[in-house]
Structure 1
Amino acid sequence: MADTLRRLANTSSCSVVQQKLEAWDKDYHVISCDQNLNRCCELLELTSRVQGQLFTILSLTAQEGGHYAGVDTLKSRLLPWLSTCFTMATSSVSPDTSLNLIQDNVEKDRKLQELSLSHESDMFKMEDRLCSTRLELDSVKQKLADAKFELDSTKNKSATILLATEDEILHLKAELQDAYEQMNLYKMKMEDYDRQVRLLRDEVTYLTAEKTILQERLMRSRSPSPVPHCSRGSSPVRAESPARARLTSSVRRTRLLSRFSELYATERLEAQSLLRRYVDDLETVQRILFIAAVESFQAARLAYRQFKLRVRKTLSPTHVGPESLEDSVADYIVRNLDLYDVQTSVNVRSLPRPTQTY
């Protein structure tokens, strides 16, 4: 609208009309009738152009104001002017026709007012509905937030319960593993005890048989029959020494195995925990303990062989009898086991340093 008004002001149409009117007024009595009519038509054309542009501006201004803006102005000024123009232009219009036009205008005004009131009431209703809808939306949002909060709290509780359950399961698994290890240890101990019991029963049986033989010999010695002289080499007691030595050696072997089981189950763990203070790698610690055990057994075997050689060297000059020298040496070692000190004979001075251990 502003552009149209600016163009109308820049064209200066009204000033041109004014100039033409002044020129026509001067020449009205001089020129002919046709020329006067031509100038009048020219002025009408100019004014019609200006009126057309003004009506365009009027329409644009009314559109910018809205549906009901400027209604009073149009009713009070434009409609009476239009009716006056129509009345003046048309001589056949009667007063009744003008009255009908006025009544139509009044009816249209009434309808416009009714439409305006209904529109305002509809607007109020729509605003009320919009407010109620907003309130419902806010309540739904609040309920959704509460539900989300409850869901998050439930998730947190479930996660906490799940973690606690997993910890309990791990703890129970660890306890079950410890119980299995203790059960295996008890089984090993029971097997060792059973083996020792069997060996002790064999030894008791042997001692019972030896006791019976000794009792028979004692009864024979008390009888009046002469007792034949037996040399040292044919002594029956000496003849039984190798069997006794073998039996006692088997018992000793069983006790050594039992002692090794105790070392592996208890003292190995203590040594392992002690070494872990200085060595972080568990596999390296286990290798060190294994190498130490192997070296200890090898040192013990070497010390036992040296002790056996010393006994053989001592008994060989004076050995007489039906049993062999090896049986006599074994019998002597068993009967004089206190002379062989394992702890002082085993001395592991230095361990080997293989590349796979360190």
Structure 2
Amino acid sequence: MAETLRRLSEAGAFRLMQDKVEKWNDNYKLNTTDKNISSCVELIELISRLQGQMFSLLNLCAMEGGEYAGCDALKKRLLPWLSNGFVASSGRLSADTSLSIIAESTEKERQLEILQEDYEKQLDVMESDLNKSKSLADDLSSELDRAHAQLNAERELSVEDSLTKDDQVISLQARIGALQDEVNFYKNQSGVISDYEIERRRLQDEISLLREEKAIMNGTNDFIVTTSPSSKLSSLSTDVFQRVRQASLVSRFGDLFARDRMDGMDVLYNHCDDHELNQKIVFTCVQEAFHAAKSAFNRYRTKVFSALQDTHTGPESLSDAVQKYINKNGQLLDVHSIVEDVLAAMNRHPVISFPAEVNFRILTLFIRETVKVAWSMTALPSPINIAPAREGELFSEKRYRRTRDSEYTAPLVAYYIWPALVNAKGDVLLKGEAVTRRGGALASPRRSRSPSRAVTPSRSRSPSPRRSMMASPMSPAGSRPGSSLSPRPGSAASSLLSLY
């Protein structure tokens, strides 16, 4: 008995019935007749099920009280109620089954209400989105109409403007023809003036040539600065410019070998005692400096050519004008970027290596001076370059000299110390230096990252013996093997006289 009553209380059938009655009352005027009848029948079915449960509980209560228990209440309250014509069926289902059905019905009603609320919310959202889309479509339609109207107006104006421009073009063409006739007339009248102008230019060129010859005789190159920018360099003056600058640069290249190279070797000895590796590093610095300077100069020449191409006028060719501009304004300005390119190339070099804790930037001063010389040599009317060199190739007596520690019977180059200097025709201007040893070509490239080194700054160094061992005199091409020549010429004039 108590268990049946508990399940009936947990089912909440009476609360569900009250909720349905209130909902029916709220929607009565909105519902149709069929829906109102359906709601009423649903309530009657629910009440009938509850009555069947209540009669079952009544029977259980009477059985627990005995044979005559509860007779007074049955006579006074139940029998008069039944005599009024109401008959309640106890139902065909058991009490447990009826309560589970009521609970399932209650849960389904709740789920249906939740789904209906979600559906109504989604419907509201869709309606708002639809309204926004409609308003946006109306705005786009109005904007399209305005664009069509503006396009039609501009089309009408363009037609009118085209008619006006055609008339203006015809009048301008007639005016240009008249002006051209006038220009031709004045050109014919200015023939005498043109002759005087040609004579004036010729005299200016002769004066410039005399100044250059005077500067050559005095052993200076001041004529490069004092030359008038408007005068055209003749073939003779270009040749003089080439010879004077070439002599000066060859002298500076000898200084790089005799002085700057030795300073760079001393710097390397502070970090690495491998003499052969240090010589290879210095030689690679020179190679990469010439390559980077040549690449940078080609970019600079291209910019000058593009700048003068649109504005160039005059009797001289465009290439002559570009070279003339480079002769007067081709000083190396962005040295830092070229030095950085050289350092990056050395860090990527497949043969040379250095301790991981040491950077090639210790040779920045040497690289900087080499880049300046390489740029100036590349900027000449007839450029000067270093000869290509590769380890293991056949030794050339015309371009290189052997070092004192070389094997003079070895035919192949073990490694290079200094490159040879050649002109545009391939003629050797200054010999380089190489080391020849037997079996040098069969040695594998040096890839060690931990060469023996001494990094203590206070260690004793004796640069003089090393310099005496490394430095061998640089000699120009064609000198005898036994002759010695100072690597630093006295002046540019003396170098020019030696070329003559």
Give the structure with higher Rg (CA): 1
> TM-score scaled by structure 1?
0.33
**Greater fraction strand:** 2
> TM-score scaled by structure 2?
0.24
